[in-house]
């Protein structure tokens, strides 16, 4: 029996994880759940899965959750940064699913690693902001970081059983998002409603917008550098509109191994939870006869400058990826709220990267300070 804490249980990844858990009650048990302010959904999850603890963002949300659950629920209600940390480090937990949106997932994930918990990582920002620190901590504590992103899960599977010194390149696939064929002249008219209509994947709002700008793929490049200990020069982004090939790995002899499957996150989630086993979660293989053919193309870097900015950030290293990520979070938040245009997202990120001082070889506090400075600068720009 594997015991779990899910950080971000009310988001799309968290809900999909609980769907997998519900299919295998003899294999998985939920010990802790954590969300931000979606207390009604969290209360429903607590009633169904009966965790020991549930954590929310602040005391107000904690009071609301307590009222919904009642005084005799048996669930300890936690809140704030300390509450998330407590939930992620319970002695009864084996594995923490890191699905909390944005940089907020960093500290509880680090705390879980220090407590010796394996990490099923969906929150890419944890490695974008502090990849070196996180991977070093995992190595020191002897815990596994198993990728949940479909692309990184694909790479992980392609590398399984292979000699790492034979690796040549990682080919990171991207759907291209909803605006793959949209002329750049029309980008200024893109609304949040249009940006949230992803052609293949069901995701949360922030990550869906990131997919539309290709920033999501840029963040995945940075994440892959840390997860698989490669440089950005060994990663190429490949546009693959059908989202059937989740990523590929090429080797020094010219061979390429690809991982294929339907665009459904439950596959990657189940593999991370059950590794090295595979679970029958009710997904079917692609109908190759109906597909007929699948295509690949290079990304248009002029129309999607966020990808260029991400490569620049990972090459510069230090605090720059944290700055990139923080500025993007604020710019996307402003776009979704109608306070910034679609084309302002990369413009804000680039300006913040130019303005926030850069630090090489930062510690955790310096990374968090850079994150805060970037957010403040981005907020000033989107005003």
The pLDDT score that the predictor gives to residue 197 is 84
The pLDDT score that the predictor gives to residue 155 is 98
Q: How many percent of the chain have pLDDT more than 90?
A: 92
Interhelix angle 215-227/344-355, nearest 10 degrees: 50
Q: Does domain 2-147 have CATH number 1.10.287.130?
A: no
List of residues 6+ apart from 362 with CB closer than 8 A: 318, 319, 370
Report the C-alpha gap between 24 and 1 in whole angstroms.
10
Q: 63-78 in b/e burial notation, b at 16+ Cβ within 10 A?
A: ebbbeebeeebebebb
* Structural contact between residues 196 and 208, judged by C-beta atoms closer than 8 angstroms: yes
User: What would the two tokens of residue 95 be?
Assistant: 């594995």
**Rounded average pLDDT over 75-86:** 96
Question: What angle (nearest 5°) sits at the alpha carbon of residue 325, between those of residues 329 and 215?
Answer: 85
pLDDT tens, 275-319? 999 999 999 999 999 988 999 999 999 999 999 999 999 999 999
Residue range(s) in the chain whose domain bears CATH number 1.10.1740.10: 317-383
**Rounded average pLDDT over 165-177:** 96
> What's the sign of the alpha-carbon dihedral 245, 127, 142, 55?
negative
- In angstroms, the Cα distances linking 88 to 120, 264, 365 are 12, 26, 20
Region of residue 98 (phi > 0: left; psi between -120 and 50: alpha; otherwise: beta): beta
User: What would the two tokens of residue 202 be?
Assistant: 């069901």
pLDDT tens, 22-42? 999 999 999 999 999 899 999
User: What would the two tokens of residue 142 be?
Assistant: 């002897």
The pLDDT score that the predictor gives to residue 202 is 65
The DSSP string of 354-383 is: HHSPP-SS--HHHHHHHHHHHHHHHHHHH-
Region of residue 215 (phi > 0: left; psi between -120 and 50: alpha; otherwise: beta): alpha
The DSSP string of 187-255 is: GGG--HHHHT--SS----HHHHHHHHHTHHHHHHHHHHHHHTT--GGGEEEEE-TT--EEEEEEETTS-
Residue range(s) in the chain whose domain bears CATH number 3.40.50.720: 2-147
pLDDT tens, 134-159? 999 999 999 999 999 999 999 999 99
Q: What is the CATH T-level fold of the domain 317-383, as seen in this structure? A: Rna Polymerase Sigma Factor; Chain: A (1.10.1740)
**Which residue intervals of 142-185 are DSSP H helices?**
150-159
201 pLDDT higher than 80:
no
* Structural contact between residues 248 and 171, judged by C-beta atoms closer than 8 angstroms: yes
pLDDT tens, 98-132? 999 877 889 999 999 999 999 999 988 899 999 99
198 pLDDT higher than 90:
no
Helices (H) and strands (E) in the chain, counts: 16, 11
The pLDDT score that the predictor gives to residue 166 is 97
* Structural contact between residues 211 and 198, judged by C-beta atoms closer than 8 angstroms: yes
What average pLDDT does the structure give for the chain? 95
List of residues 6+ apart from 85 with CB closer than 8 A: 107, 108, 111
Report the C-alpha gap between 38 and 197 in whole angstroms.
22
pLDDT tens, 219-264? 999 999 999 999 999 999 999 999 999 999 999 999 999 999 999 9
Q: Among 303, 302, 319, 321, which residue's Cα sits nearest to residue 311?
A: 321
SS3 30: strand
Q: What is the DSSP letter of 340?
A: S
């Amino acid at each position: 029996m594997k015991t779990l804490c899910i950080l971000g249980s009310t988001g799309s990844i968290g809900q999909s994880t609980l769907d997998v858990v519900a299919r295998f009650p003899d294999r998985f048990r939920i010990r802790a759940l954590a969300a931000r302010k979606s207390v009604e959904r969290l209360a429903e999850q607590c009633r169904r899965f009966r965790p020991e603890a549930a954590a929310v963002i602040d005391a107000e949300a904690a009071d609301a959750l307590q009222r919904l659950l009642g005084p005799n629920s048996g669930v300890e209600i936690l809140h704030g940064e300390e509450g998330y940390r407590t939930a992620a480090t319970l002695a009864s937990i084996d594995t923490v699913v890191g699905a909390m949106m944005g940089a907020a997932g960093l500290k509880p994930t680090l705390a879980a690693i220090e407590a010796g918990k394996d990490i099923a990582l969906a929150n890419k920002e944890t490695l974008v902001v502090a990849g070196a620190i996180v991977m070093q901590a995992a190595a020191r504590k002897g815990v596994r970081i198993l990728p949940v992103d479909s692309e990184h899960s694909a790479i992980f599977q392609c590398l399984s059983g292979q000699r790492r010194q034979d690796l040549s390149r990682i080919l990171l696939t991207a759907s291209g998002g909803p605006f793959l064929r949209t002329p750049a002249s029309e980008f200024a008219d893109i609304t949040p409603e249009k940006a949230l209509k992803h052609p293949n994947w069901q995701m949360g709002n922030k990550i869906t917008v990131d997919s539309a700008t290709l920033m999501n793929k840029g963040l995945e490049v940075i994440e892959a550098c840390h997860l698989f200990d490669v440089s950005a020069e060994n990663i190429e982004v490949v546009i693959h509109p059908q989202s059937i090939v989740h990523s590929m790995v090429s080797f020094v002899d010219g061979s390429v191994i690809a991982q294929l499957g339907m665009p459904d996150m439950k596959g990657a989630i189940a593999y991370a939870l059950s590794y090295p086993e595979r679970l029958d979660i009710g997904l079917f293989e692609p109908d190759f006869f109906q597909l007929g053919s699948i295509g690949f193309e290079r990304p248009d870097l002029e129309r999607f400058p966020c990808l260029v900015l991400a490569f620049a950030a990972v090459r510069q290293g230090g605090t720059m990826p944290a700055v990139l990520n923080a500025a993007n979070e604020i710019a996307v938040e402003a776009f979704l709220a109608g306070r910034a245009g679609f084309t302002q997202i990369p413009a804000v990120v680039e300006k913040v990267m130019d303005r926030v001082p850069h630090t090489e070889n930062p510690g955790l506090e310096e990374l968090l300070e850079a994150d805060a400075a970037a957010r403040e600068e981005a907020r000033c720009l989107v005003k």
